[in-house]
Amino acid sequence: MAGTITTVREHEGDLVVESADIVAEDVVALTLVDPDGDALPPWTPGAHVDLILEDGLVRQYSLCSDPADSRVIRVGVLKTPDSRGGSRFVHERLTKGSTVRVRGPRNHFPLVSSPRYIFIGGGIGITPMLPMIAEAEATGADWHLYYGGRSRASMGFLDELAAYGDKVTLVPQDEAGILDLATILGDPRDDTKVYVCGPEGLLGAVEAKCGAEWPAGSLHLERFAAKEIEAPAEGERSFELELAASGITLTVPPDRSIFDVCQDNGISVMGSCHEGICGTCEQVVLEGEVDHRDSVLSDSEKAANDAMMICVSRCKSDRLVLDL
C-alpha cells in the first residue's frame, strides 16, 4: 500500500457539498468535492479533516470514503444535542451545493500493517473503520469488525458493510446488548492490532482490557476529544494572562495558545511538539485554575495546579498568573 505522509503540507480550501445524505437517525454523510473538480489531497485510512464552520468553530471528522478516489471525500456527522452547534450547523446548513472550508486531511490514527486486526466501532466511530476494513480486506489480512450502536436505525452505512458478510458483526444495543469486549478481544496475541473508535466509555473499557495484557503497540484508539485537543462544547474563552516575572499582563484570545501569545509579545518561551506530549514548555502556575489538556502530567499532577504545558493547556478562571 502506498500512503502519504500525514501533515507534511497541510491543505486548506473551500470544498463544495456534492451530496448530503441521511444515512441513519441523526447521521448525515457529506460528500465533498473541489469546486473546480481538481483532485483532493491524498490520505490514508484513519485520516480526518477539520471542517471550519461559522465563527471559526472547528470540528474534526474522520474520512469514510475510498482513499483511492481523489475526486471526493466523505465524512459522517452525528447530530449531538449538547454541542456548541458544530454538528447542528453541519446538519442544518450544509446541503447540496453549500461551500465549506476544509483543512487537512491529516492522520493521527493510521492503520499499521498487521496480519490480523480487530476493529471496534461504536456509534459514529464507525466512520474511520470503513476505509480501514477496505484496506485490511485488500491486503488479505485476517480481520473482523464489531459495530455497536443504540439501535439498528441509529447505525449508518449498513448497506456498505453488508458486502463484507460475516466479517462484520452488528451489535445494536436494543437487540444484542453492549459489545462483549472479553469475547471480542479474546486472549492477547502478538499478531493482532486492535483499532477502536467510539464514545469515551467504549475507549476506556477497551483500554482497561488491553492495557497491561496486550503487547505494547497493539491498541490503537481514536479519541478526538482528548487527543485532538478539541475546543470544549461551550467553545474556547479568552482569559487574562499575567506574567509575574516579566511584569506584564496579556490577553489570550480563544484562538491562540498561551505559548503563541507569549511569543507574539516577545516573551522567550521554549516549546517543541506543540501537542502537549514532549513536556518542554512546562511553566509554573502561581494563580488561576488550569484547564489541563496535555498528555504529560498525571491526574494528581494536574490536580496540584502548580504547573502546566502552555502549548495546549488553558485556563478555566478569568485570570492566570505564571512565574514567567
Partner 1 sequence: MQPTPVPLEKVDLADLDVFEKNEAWGMFDTLRKEAPVHWNEEHDGGSGFWSITRYEDIEAVDKDPETFTSTKFTNLEEPPEEFQELRRSILESDGPRHLALRKLLMRDFTPAQLRRYEDFLRGLAALTVETALQQEEMDFVDAIAADYPIAVLARLLDTPEEMTPQLIAWGNEIVGFSDPEYARVLVNSEESQKYRHLPFSSPVSQEIFEYGRTLAAERKGGDGEDLVSKLVNRLPEDGIPLSPEHFDNYFLLLVVAGNETTRQAISHSMKALIDNPEQMQWLLDNPDKYPQAIEELLRWASPVYHFRRTATRDVELHGKTIKGGDKVVMWFASGNRDESKFDDPYTLDLSRFPNDHMTFGKGPHTCMGSNLARFEMRIIFETLLPRVASIAQTGDIRRVRSNFVNGIKAFPVRIESKQA
As to burial, measured by CB atoms within 10 angstroms (0-12 exposed, 13-18 middle, 19+ buried), residue 46 is buried
Q: Least separation, in Å, of the C-beta of 295 and partner 1? A: 7
CB 191 within 8 A of CB 114: yes
Instruction: Show the binding pattern over residues 69-108: x = contacts partner 1 (CB under 8 A), - = does not.
Output: --------------------------------------x-
Minimum distance from CB of 71 to partner 1 (Å)? 19
Q: How far apart are CA 161 and CA 168, in angstroms?
A: 7
Pick the closest to residue 287 from 314, 319, 309, 239 (CA basis): 319
2 binds partner 1 (CB under 8 A): yes
Binding mask 156-195 for partner 1 (x = CB under 8 A): ----------------------------------------
Among the listed residues 37, 190, 234, 298, the single contact to partner 1 using CB under 8 A: 298
User: Applying CB under 8 A, which part among 5-13, 25-33, 169-177, 248-256 lies near partner 1?
Assistant: 5-13
Smallest gap, in angstroms, from Cβ of residue 125 to partner 1? 18
The set of residues, in sequence order, having a beta carbon less than 8 Å from that of 66 and lying 6+ positions away, is 131, 134
Min separation Cβ 277 and partner 1, Å: 5
Collapsing DSSP to helix, strand or coil, 123 comes out as: helix
How far apart, in Å, are the Cα atoms of 156 and each of 118, 162, 173, 186? 20, 12, 14, 27
Alpha-carbon distance 12 to 28, whole Å?
Answer: 22
Q: How far apart are CA 99 and CA 206, in angstroms?
A: 38
Contact string (CB under 8 A) for partner 1, positions 35-74, x = contact: -------x--------------------------------
Residue 140 in contact with partner 1, rule: CB under 8 A: no
Residues of span 301-320 touching partner 1 by CB under 8 A: 301, 307
Interface residue with partner 1, options 33, 181, 244, 273 (CB under 8 A):
273
**Residue with Cβ nearer partner 1 (3 or 199):** 3
| Cell of residue 308, nine digits | 502546566
Q: Which of 22, 112, 162, 233 binds partner 1 (CB under 8 A)?
A: 112
Alpha carbon distances (Å) from 258 to 129, 193, 239, 251: 35, 37, 10, 9
What's the closest the beta carbon of residue 211 comes to partner 1, in angstroms? 8
* Bridge-based pairing state of the strands 142-149 and 72-78: unpaired
Query: Cell 449498513 sits at which residue?
Result: 158
List interacting residues with partner 1 (CB under 8 A). Answer: 1-9, 42, 107, 110-113, 211-212, 216-217, 220, 263, 266, 268, 270-273, 275, 277-280, 282-284, 295-296, 298, 301, 307, 323
